[in-house]
Amino acid sequence: MMIRQLALATLAIVCAGPVLAQDFEPPLERLIDGYIRPSMSEFAETAGSLPGAVDAVCAKAPEKDAQETFRIAFAAAVEGFSKIHFLRFGPLLEDDRLNRLAFLPDPRGAAQRQIRKIYAKKDETVLSPQTISAKSVAVQGLTALQLIAFDKNSAVRLAEPDDDREFTCGYARSIAENIAGIAADLASEWDDPDGYAKVLLTSSTGNERFHTSKEAIESVFNTLVTGLIIVRDQDLLPALGSSQEDAKAYRFPFSRSGNSVVYMKAELQGIRDALFSMNLMAMTPEKFHWIYNGVDFEFSNAQGYLDNLQSPLRQTFEDGDGYAQVSILAITVKSIRNTLATEMAGALQLAGGFNALDGD
Amino acid sequence: MRSTGTRSSLFRSGSILRQASGRLRDQATLTTLSRRGFLAALGGLAATPVFSRSTLAESLIGKEAADGVPLFVSAFKKADGDYGVGILDDLGQVLGEISLPGRGHGVAISPDRTRFVAFARRPGTFAVVVRPFEDAEPQVIAAQSGRHFYGHGSFSADGRLLYAVENDYEAARGVVGVYDASGKTISRIGEIETHGIGPHDLMIDPDGKTLIVANGGIKTHPDMPRKKLNLDTMTPSVVYLDAENGDLLAEHALGTSLHQLSLRHMALDGNGRVWVGGQFEGPQADQPPLVAVLGRDESIRVTDIPDSIAPGLQNYVGSVTANASGEIIATSCPRGGQTLFWKASSGAFLGAEAIIDGCGVAPIDQGSFLISDGNGAVSLVEDPTRPAEILARPPGYSWDNHMFALT
């Protein structure tokens, strides 16, 4: 902590004095073209294959290996989602899309409770994508689909021959279409030159949302910092518990379908790629370029720790050194977050925090 | 497929009062009121009925939500730049929200829990009265000419009066604006001097007859909204005032060595003593105490923050809250990303929770706390020695300094 404060103090001294206002529109443009649009388009594609994958499993004469095809399609959609979920601004917040795509976190199992009620009364409003979108956010996205399509042991149970087969298939199909529709809307809204891209890309001359491009990039940069907080505090710490004996693998996101590692790898890679797509280093005084190299190194370490884990975590986390790997991953993610929020933000003279920023 | 006609809310007219879109229940009819009408109200038309009643109008919070579910209220900023105040349930889900024309801060809740008043952050000039369980339009109170709100206030014990801390900025004098809240609308009827500068938090003493005000001591003027004008001479205090006549009944100040510790946020413990948290305006390298406790007839004394934690707090406490029994006090330190817990009876330090930008703290259940943060999370702390549990993170919300138990 002391070292960090010293580093900050040094930054403050170095950065003091008149500095020309930087134009942050070019990095925002690079982010949109180089990361957001391709990722949204990729998610639209993977989500778009979900309805067909449900159909293939649920057909009267299921295709050979249809369950495996569905498992792969679901994993691809989860991976696509994990690369965009931290872009918590603009289109992802409209129409409550983020919550509707995945209701996270859900430590008290609200989704499971609500889905149980849906089954109890065979609520037919979940069977159509038109009506499911107006239901509770907890019962219409990837997290709901996971609950009805996988069993506790991470096996596909969609279309298993039980009394609820038809209902589950109809419900799954409706969720799949809902997800595909939201993903398609996200992609088209980000592609729209008059959409939120315009809000970010007209910021240097000021608009209704942002007075300057610095404000615009602060909003984006701080979202990436929040993304790292979510990875550690929300995705890792609940599963780690207070000790190895207290570990709860089922608390990892998407653990039920065996996709936790897929999800966490892709979200960390996504945050890294989004950050580096902006090439902020080019706008940073050379003496601070080490920050970017250091962060990149830590991101790559994080991928390494995740590579050492065995999926599905619900079955493997208690054995071997998984706990140690995730523990050090949590420390690494915290360190990346701190470097971004202090050193990198300081070098770029970006303001962060909300309550911490300007006290009252 | 959903319509692709949606746009960033930048291109959409906002609504003032609506059931939140972040819904964990099936979608209900939305109630919307025009933003233009709301802003017009702030232009001095508050007396005229500017909220055209929608035929769809209904209460902000449905009976179902109000029935037995603990509710909380907090100001927020949204990712689209809008400000408002949100109503959350005990799982951190947003059940309803009201737009505000600027950044909010504290909320006063009526003793019968049927109304609340959201105050503008200093140096704002609006306060909004909301009856969340009724089909009722919010009332906008504009600060009296020559005054602005400081962000906090409280209803009287019988709910008939509303007190709001205000700045008489030309005279650099803190006042408590007194408002008649006994009728359908709330109107200002007078003011009480706070015997200090920069009054911030305000509470009603358990006797129901005394106001307790934390004079932060910092002189500001709305012409230079966030500039502090008297850091060398500031003299913060906590005062007890006779609610009836404004008489100064007791005054507590830290010694001259701590005169730059602005005393700002307070909570009452189970024994009726005042816990106060400060923000230090002196040299950053100093490490002064930040939390103090006092009684009307009991002199102020500071608590000891452990050396392992103190250096990281950046000398700033953002809010102070007691748990339901008044046995534990929480003091949030958003700059340090830590919330500290104290045993009220002894002043002993109990532990800290690391929550980045965590600031809003409200009591929940028998002894626990709900903590909101600038990254949108709502976390439950049942035991300060165990990690906080993130209950929810409503997308796009940054929770502001304070959260209050509404029911």
Per-residue pLDDT tens for B119-175?
Answer: 999 999 999 999 988 878 889 999 999 999 999 999 999 999 999 999 999 999 999
* pLDDT range class, residue B7, cuts 50, 70, 90: very low
ipTM (interface pTM): 0.92
Question: What confidence tens digit (pLDDT) does each residue in B220-250 have?
Answer: 999 998 899 999 999 999 999 999 999 999 9
Domain of B160, CATH number, reads: 2.130.10.10
Question: What confidence tens digit (pLDDT) does each residue in B346-393 have?
Answer: 999 999 999 999 999 999 999 999 999 999 999 999 999 888 999 999
User: Are B400 and A355 a contacting pair at CB < 8 A?
Assistant: yes
Which residue of B375, B385, B386, B398 to mutate against A (max A Cβ within 10 Å)? B375
Q: Decide if A103 contacts A111 (C-beta within 8 A).
A: yes
* pLDDT range class, residue B339, cuts 50, 70, 90: very high
Q: What are phi and psi of B314, to 5 degrees?
A: 55, 35
CA dist., res. B285 & res. B311, Å (int): 9
Residues B21-45, mean pLDDT to the nearest whole number: 41
- The answer to whether position B205 is within a domain reads yes
Residue B53: pLDDT over 70: no
Residue A119: pLDDT over 50: yes
* Domains of chain A by start residue, with CATH: 22-29+198-348 (1.20.120), 43-191 (1.20.1420.20)
pLDDT of residue B133: 84
Strand ranges across the sheet with B338-343: B319-322, B328-333, B338-343, B349-354
- The answer to whether position B349 is within a domain reads yes
Single pTM value for the model: 0.90
Neighbouring CB atoms inside 10 A of B65's CB total 22
User: Are A95 and B395 a contacting pair at CB < 8 A?
Assistant: no
> CA nearest A130 in B: which residue?
B1
Residues A241-264, mean pLDDT to the nearest whole number: 96
pLDDT of residue A170: 98
Nearest to B386 among A5, A129, A242 (CB): A242
- Beta bridge mates, B100: B83
Q: Decide if A340 contacts A224 (C-beta within 8 A).
A: yes
- The answer to whether position B2 is within a domain reads no
* A contacts of B23 (beta carbons < 8 Å): 96, 136-137
Helix (H, G, I), strand (E, B) or coil at B359: strand
pLDDT of residue A319: 84
Residue with tokens 């209704």: A208
Query: What is the residue type of A229?
Result: I
Residue A140: pLDDT over 90: yes
- The answer to whether position B3 is within a domain reads no
Compute the nearest-CA separation of A265 from chain B (Å).
21
DSSP string computed for B167-203? EETTTTEEEEEEEE-SSSS-EEEEEEE-SSSSEEEEE
* pLDDT range class, residue A356, cuts 50, 70, 90: confident
Residues B287-311, mean pLDDT to the nearest whole number: 97
Question: What confidence tens digit (pLDDT) does each residue in B346-355 have?
Answer: 999 999 999 9
DSSP string computed for A309-344? S-S-HHHHTTSTTHHHHHHHHHHHHHHHHHIIIIII
Q: Decide if B124 contacts B169 (C-beta within 8 A).
A: no
Strand ranges across the sheet with B17-19: B17-19, B94-100, B83-89, B71-78, B397-405
pLDDT of residue A282: 96
What's the DSSP call for residue B224?
A: B
Q: How many domains does chain B have?
A: 1
- The answer to whether position B1 is within a domain reads no
Neighbouring CB atoms inside 10 A of A307's CB total 10
* pLDDT range class, residue A6, cuts 50, 70, 90: very low
* A contacts of B391 (beta carbons < 8 Å): 105, 107-108
Residue B3: pLDDT over 90: no
pLDDT of residue B68: 77
Residue B34: pLDDT over 80: no
Compute the nearest-CA separation of A110 from chain B (Å).
8
* pLDDT range class, residue A357, cuts 50, 70, 90: confident
* pLDDT range class, residue B42, cuts 50, 70, 90: very low
Residue numbers of the domain that contains B49 = 9-405
Which is more confident, B11 or B252? Answer: B252
CA dist., res. B347 & res. B350, Å (int): 9
Label the pairing between strands B17-19 and B248-252: unpaired
- The answer to whether position B4 is within a domain reads no
Residues A62-88, mean pLDDT to the nearest whole number: 95
